[in-house]
Amino acid sequence: MSQERGQKLARQDFISNQDVRWCPGCGDYSILAQTQKSLPDLGIPRENFVFISGIGCSSRFPYYMNTYGFHTIHGRAPTLASGVKLARPDLSVWVVTGDGDSLSIGGNHFIHVLRRNIDLNIVLFNNRIYGLTKGQYSPTSELGKVTKSTPFGSLDTPFNPPAVALGAQATFVARSIDRYPSHLQKMLGRAHGHKGASFLEVYQNCLIFNDGAFRLLTEKETKGDHVLELENGKPMIFGKEKNKGIRLNGFKPEVVTLDGDYSTDDLLIHNETDKNIADVLTNFTYDSEFPTPIGVLFVAKMSTYEDRLDEQIKTAKEQLGEGNLEALIRGADTWEVE
């Protein structure tokens, strides 16, 4: 179906004619829906969106989006996305990936694409399990995790994706949760709005192989005490009763109760551009003492790889003149045979 030019797009315009084949109740459905709802607001013609994925449950995503899409190879989506973006910087290029896809087999590409700061939006569906291969532990599964391939418990410490991203010098790091639709939409918008490589981790429930991995963060009774929703410039308050906060004791963060001893004035104020704060926040992830932060953890302004490349091309043309093929082929040392 071709859309009328200039007419505002709607969610419907982004739904492809393919049947969605995730398990009923999978967290992926929500992420798909929030994406389809968010894109019309970005003001970009539909044909300029490209969704690129690797392999895994999440990576079926492009088939369900009525945009340009490429379902590639396990772990390699960032490489293809880089090629698309470098060839056509005018396109809005999205990478859809999972914890195994991007942090195990694709770990190398993941860190390098962030380091280069190519203007891509990378959405990592983190369900802490291999779903498509039916339930092996992943690089984000917690230590000791019992799965099909680790019947006696996993032996390796998990990766914390935002920490990896920060370590790789990402210029935008954010987190959201499949069950937080409006938050997720907001984060998708922020990721898109950032010029440079944006990394958005989305906690996603795999109800077949790792059901309830994020229960504390999504159930009504517990989520208040376990989720810290970050807002730039605001003190870090959380708790069911909004009576807890994060305070820095020297360099050490601690959870305090706002009960007279401490007030909001004592709390740490979120500053998205402060990498030290981002470091503090990412360390909460596997620490049961702290709530899980969601929102924009870190953002930095930096020129993109493709802009630098364009700049080099421009400068070279100015300094050397537009390339002349015949002259190049001739070279410096020619001779004539009569």
Partner 1 sequence: MSDNTKPIKNVVIRFAGDSGDGMQLMGDRFTATTAMVGNDLGTFPDYPAEIRAPAGSLAGVSAFQIQFSSQDIFTPGDRVDVLVVMNPAALKMHIQDLRPGGTLIANKSNFQKKNLKLAGYETDPLTDDSLNDFMVLDVEITELVTKALEDMKLPLKTVERTKNMFALGLTFWMYGRPMEPTIKWLNMKFKKRPELVEANVRALKAGNHFGDISEVFSSSYTVAPAPLAKGTYRNITGNYALGLGLLTASEKSGLPLFFGGYPITPASEILNQLSLYRNFGIRTFQAEDEIASIGASIGAAFAGSLAVTASSGPGIALKSEAMGLAVITELPLVIINIQRAGPSTGLPTKTEQADLFQALFGRNSESPIPVISAISPSDCYYTAYEACRVALKYMTPIIVLSDAYLASGSEPWLLPNLSDLEKIEVKFTESNGETFKPYLRDEMTLARPWAIPGTPGLEHRIGGLEKEDGSGNVSYDPENHQKMIELREAKVAGITREIDPTELYGEPIGDLLILGWGSTYGSIRTAVKRLQDEGKSVSHAHVRWVNPLPADLGEIVLKYQKILVPELNRGQFLKLIRAEYLVDAKGMNVVRGKPIRSYRIEEVANEMLESGR
Backbone phi and psi for residue 214, each to the nearest 5 degrees, phi listed first:
-120, 25
Contacts of 266 (CB under 8 A, 6+ apart): 245, 247, 256
Pair of tokens at residue 28: 């992926």
101 in contact with ligand SF4 (CB under 6 A): no
327 in contact with partner 1 (CB under 8 A): no
- The residues with which 228 forms a beta bridge, in sequence order, are 293
Angle CA(21)–CA(23)–CA(24) in degrees, nearest 5? 105
> What does 108 interact with, of partner 1, ligand SF4, none (CB < 5 to 8 A by kind)?
partner 1
> What does 127 interact with, of partner 1, ligand SF4, none (CB < 5 to 8 A by kind)?
ligand SF4
> What does 131 interact with, of ligand SF4, partner 1, none (CB < 5 to 8 A by kind)?
ligand SF4
Pair of tokens at residue 79: 């490489």
Instruction: Tell me if residue 107 falls in helix, strand or coil.
Output: helix
Binding mask 24-63 for ligand SF4 (x = CB under 6 A): --x-x----------------------------x------
Instruction: Tell me if residue 124 falls in helix, strand or coil.
Output: strand
Overall size of the chain counted in residues: 338
248 in contact with ligand SF4 (CB under 6 A): no
With contact defined as beta carbons under 8 Å apart, do 161 and 124 qualify?
yes
43 in contact with partner 1 (CB under 8 A): no
Among 131, 162, 196, 295, binds ligand SF4 (CB under 6 A): 131
Nearest residue to 202 via CA among 172, 176, 230? 176
84 in contact with ligand SF4 (CB under 6 A): no
CB atoms within 10 A of CB 338: 2
Contacts of 237 (CB under 8 A, 6+ apart): 244, 245, 258, 264, 267
Nearer to partner 1, 87 or 260 (CB): 87
38 in contact with partner 1 (CB under 8 A): no
152 in contact with partner 1 (CB under 8 A): no
22 in contact with ligand SF4 (CB under 6 A): yes
Please state the closest distance from residue 220 (CB atom) to ligand SF4, in A: 22
206 in contact with ligand SF4 (CB under 6 A): yes
Please state the closest distance from residue 67 (CB atom) to partner 1, in A: 5
Scanning 43-51, 202-210, 221-229, 247-255 for contacts with ligand SF4 by CB under 6 A, the matching segment is 202-210
Among 9, 15, 23, 84, binds ligand SF4 (CB under 6 A): 23
Nearer to ligand SF4, 178 or 229 (CB): 178
> What does 26 interact with, of partner 1, ligand SF4, none (CB < 5 to 8 A by kind)?
ligand SF4
Dihedral sign, Cα of residue 157, residue 161, residue 163, residue 167: positive
Contacts of 98 (CB under 8 A, 6+ apart): 54, 56, 57, 58, 59, 124, 125, 126, 127, 131, 138
50 in contact with partner 1 (CB under 8 A): yes
Among 23, 40, 42, 70, binds partner 1 (CB under 8 A): 70
Scanning 142-150, 201-209, 233-241, 268-276 for contacts with ligand SF4 by CB under 6 A, the matching segment is 201-209
Angle of the 28-38 helix axis to the 181-193 helix axis, nearest 10: 50
207 in contact with ligand SF4 (CB under 6 A): yes
